[in-house]
């Protein structure tokens, strides 16, 4: 049985491949409130901001958060007893 992909992996995949509908669904289903807020900010800027700089900034903020979260939650970081 394959374990389900964590929200951070899904968010990274959806963000890289531009799957905004799936990213929106993940935003509403995740238990990580900070992840949901970062996704919400990015999607709002992507659809409503007239400034490309705002879109890039919120996109980068989301990616930085995902990178940090994945480093902390990666299985290779756990010790085997």
At 46-65, the pLDDT tens digits run 999 999 999 999 999 999 99
Tokens of 43: 């999607």
Show the DSSP H helices in 1-81 as ranges: 7-16, 20-29, 33-48, 52-73
Distance of alpha carbon 20 from the chain centroid: 11
15-41: buried (b, 16+ CB within 10 Å) or exposed (e) per residue? beeeeeeebeebbeebebeebbebbbb
The rounded mean pLDDT for the chain is 87
Is the pLDDT assigned to residue 15 strictly greater than 60? Answer: yes
């Amino acid at each position: 049985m394959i374990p389900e992909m964590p929200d951070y992996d899904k968010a990274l995949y959806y963000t890289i491949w531009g799957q905004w509908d799936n990213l929106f669904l993940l935003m509403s289903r995740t238990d990580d409130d900070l992840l949901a807020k970062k996704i919400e900010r990015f999607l709002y800027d992507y659809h409503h901001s007239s400034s490309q700089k705002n879109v890039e900034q919120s996109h980068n903020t989301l990616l930085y958060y995902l990178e940090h979260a994945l480093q902390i939650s990666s299985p290779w970081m756990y010790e085997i007893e």
